[in-house]
Amino acid sequence: MMVSTKGRYALMVLIDIAQNVQDEYIPLVDIAERQGLSMKYLEIVVAMLNKGKLITSRRGKNGGYKLVKSPEEYNINEILEITEGSLSPVTCIGSKGVNCDKATSCMTLPLWIELDRTISDYLSKISLKDIIDENIENIDNDIE
């Protein structure tokens, strides 16, 4: 599994919105400036988040984006699934289950199924608030 730029940017956008004014819409240009990200690319990402009902938007003066839920109600798995599609480590496992002609004879299939489940379970336990509060176990052990 490799998280693309869309997935990483989506997390950055949602974290930025969560860390700033909760009751007002935040202009995309402000998010782009604070995060040092391309406006053009962010437009694609926020469209995905809006379509996935993770944010709401308003046009015009005082327009922008805001969260539809509180930060603790967003789990990382749902965010990445909206931007990445399947997070499965192999193509034969998807959101609709196993899709492989060799599934009955594949000795490695249980490995991939368990890895997929582990990734999903782990990401589902982490909320935006956990990231903002730096409340992820062993985060310091993985960074050098």
Q: Which two tokens stand for residue 116?
A: 């997929």
- Find tokens 């700033």 and name the residue: 20
CB 112 within 8 A of CB 89: yes
Q: Using 70 as the pLDDT threshold, list the residues of the chain that sit under it.
A: 22, 95-96, 138-144
What pLDDT shows up at residue 138? 56
Its sign, for the CA torsion 44, 46, 50, 54, is positive
Between vectors from CA 72 to CA 66 and to CA 75, what angle results, nearest 5°? 90
Q: Which two tokens stand for residue 94?
A: 């998807």
Task: Tell me the CA distances in angstroms from 30 to 51, 54, 103, one per residue in order.
Answer: 21, 19, 49
What pLDDT shows up at residue 114? 92
What span, in angstroms and rounded, lies between the C-alpha atoms of 27 and 13?
11
What pLDDT shows up at residue 22? 67
